[in-house]
Amino acid sequence: MGPKPPLKAKEIWSIRVRLQVAHRTLDLALLNLALDSKLRACDLGALRIDDVTLNGRARSRDTIMQQKTGRPVQLEITEQTREAAGRWLETKNLHKGKPPVPSRINRARPMTMRQYARLLASWLRAIRLDPLAYGTHSLRRTKASMTYRTTGNLRAVQLRLGHSKIESTVRYPGIDVDDALLIAEQVEI
C-alpha cells in the first residue's frame, strides 16, 4: 500500500478548471484551502469561519493548533484561495464559530472526513485519475512536494507541515535515490 502520492501541478489545474466551469464554489474553495494549508483532513474539517476570515475578509495567514500533535502550524492562504473562499462565503450566511464547510446533515457541524474523501474522489474521477490511488493526505503532500522540488529545502517543508522530526518530513516530498543524486550532481566543489 504505502503513502498516497501527491498530485501534480497539471492535475491540480485540471481539477480547478473543471470546478470553475461547473461553478462549484465550495469545492474550489476547499481544494485551494487544502492545498495552501497543508492541513490533515481532521484539521481542515475542524477549521472555523474565524480561522479563515477576519472582519468578513479572507485572511492571508493564521496559526492553527494541530489535533494530532497539539503543535501550532502556520496556515497560509494565497490570493487565489482567498478569492475562492470569499466567493463561497458570500453565497452562504456563515457566522463566526461555524465551519466554513458544513456537514451535509447538520449545518452546525463540520464536514466529515468521509464527505471530504468523497469530494476528492469526484474531483479525481473528473480528470480520469483513479481515486483509490490517492487520498486526502495526497492534498497535504502536494504543496510540500512542490516546495521541496522547487527549493530543495527540507527544513522549510518540515516547518510548513508542523513536523517535529525531519524523518517524518523526508517521506512527504517522495525523496528517492534519483532525487538525491540529482541534487548532489548540481553541487560543484
* pLDDT string in tens for the chain (189-residue length): 568 889 999 999 999 999 999 999 989 989 999 998 888 898 888 888 888 888 777 888 888 888 888 888 888 889 998 888 888 877 776 667 778 888 888 877 888 899 999 999 999 999 999 999 999 999 989 988 888 888 888 888 888 888 888 888 877 766 665 666 666 677 777
User: Distance (Å, rounded) from C-alpha 100 to C-alpha 107?
Assistant: 10
Q: Are 149 and 142 contacting, i.e. CB atoms less than 8 angstroms apart?
A: no
Cα 51 to chain center, whole Å? 15
- What's the DSSP call for residue 4? P
Residue range 1-189 forms a domain whose CATH class is mainly alpha
Residues facing residue 65 across a β-bridge: 72
Please, how many CA atoms are within 13 Å of residue 46, restricted to the half-sphere of its CB? 10
Which residue matches cell numbers 517524518?
A: 168
Report the predicted TM-score, pTM, of the whole model to 2 decimal places. Answer: 0.83
SS3 10: helix
Which residue matches cell numbers 473562499?
A: 85
- What's the DSSP call for residue 132? G
Cα 111 to chain center, whole Å? 15
User: What is the end-to-end Cα distance of the chain in Å, rounded?
Assistant: 40
Predicted pLDDT at 138: 93
